[in-house]
Amino acid sequence: MEYSVHPSAIVDEGCKIGKGTKIWHFSHIMPNCVIGENCNIGQNVVVSPQVTLGNNVKVQNNVSIYTGVICEDDVFLGPSMVFTNVMNPRSAVNRRDQYLKTTVKKGASIGANATIVCGHDIGAFAFIGAGAVVTKNVPDYALVIGNPARQTGWMSEYGHKLKFDNEGFAECPESHQRYQLKNNIVTKIA
């Protein structure tokens, strides 16, 4: 086996798990999940059937990832954050055929205790603040906070808030990568 699973964790049949991935205490990986290489699945995590996680995805403790969720490479899911998959759940009404899809794009981070309401995508390198409740799509590089989540700025790929000058350019203080803001869209300058 090229990945590791703690003895208290359960991995159901039909899962594909990449090499170097670690699955920790009391987690449950349900049938037909695809988990990439070098992922870290923290303690007490539930990954529901048919979820897809890319490479190098970090899932912190107490996270629930429900059917319909796709996380691309390098996504960070903070402690106790939650995805949903039905807009109007009722205990007595079976809506398994109404699961909405949510995609978390490459490099995005979702903070502790945030909730992502189903059917809303999180853009590449977006940053969802702790406790935020996301009720609409989040653009690439956006910083959103609050309930409901509102955009308050833009983030670099290294997780620093970008300060754009009058011409619409900014530089990450850590990586020195440059970014341009034009028509409310941020792009990294090669």
Read off the pLDDT of residues 127-175 as tens digits, 9 standing for 90 and up: 999 999 999 999 999 999 999 999 999 999 999 999 999 999 999 999 9
Domain shared by 54 and 139, yes or no: yes
Domain shared by 110 and 167, yes or no: no
pTM of the model: 0.96
Domain of 143: which CATH number?
Answer: 2.160.10.10
**pLDDT tier, 96 (very low <50, low <70, confident <90, very high otherwise):** confident
Domain shared by 115 and 175, yes or no: no
Domain shared by 3 and 66, yes or no: yes
Q: What is the pLDDT of residue 23?
A: 98
- Please, which residues have CB within 8 angstroms of residue 107's CB and are 6 or more apart in sequence? 72, 73, 74, 75, 124, 125, 157
Q: What is the pLDDT of residue 116?
A: 98
Q: How many CB atoms lie within 10 A of CB 165?
A: 9
Region 64-90: what's the mean pLDDT? Answer: 96
Domain shared by 39 and 65, yes or no: yes
Query: Rounded mean pLDDT of the chain?
Result: 97
φ, ψ at 97 (rounded to 5°): -90, 5
Q: What is the pLDDT of residue 1?
A: 73
Query: Residue 181 sits in which domain range?
Result: 160-190
Q: What is the pLDDT of residue 97?
A: 87
Domain count of the chain? 2
Domain shared by 94 and 37, yes or no: yes
**Cα 12 to Cα 6, 58, 132, 187, distances in angstroms:** 14, 20, 32, 40
168 Ramachandran zone, left/alpha/beta (phi>0; psi -120 to 50): left
**pLDDT tier, 76 (very low <50, low <70, confident <90, very high otherwise):** very high
- C-alpha span between 119 and 69 (Å, rounded): 9
Domain shared by 61 and 138, yes or no: yes
Domain shared by 139 and 189, yes or no: no
Domain shared by 150 and 67, yes or no: yes
Question: Tokens at residue 109, please?
Answer: 């981070």
**pLDDT tier, 56 (very low <50, low <70, confident <90, very high otherwise):** very high
Domain shared by 103 and 180, yes or no: no
Q: Which residues pair with 171 in a beta bridge?
A: 178
Domain shared by 95 and 22, yes or no: yes
Region 44-53: what's the mean pLDDT? Answer: 97
Domain shared by 26 and 118, yes or no: yes
pLDDT digits (tens, 9 = 90+) for 15-29: 999 999 999 999 999
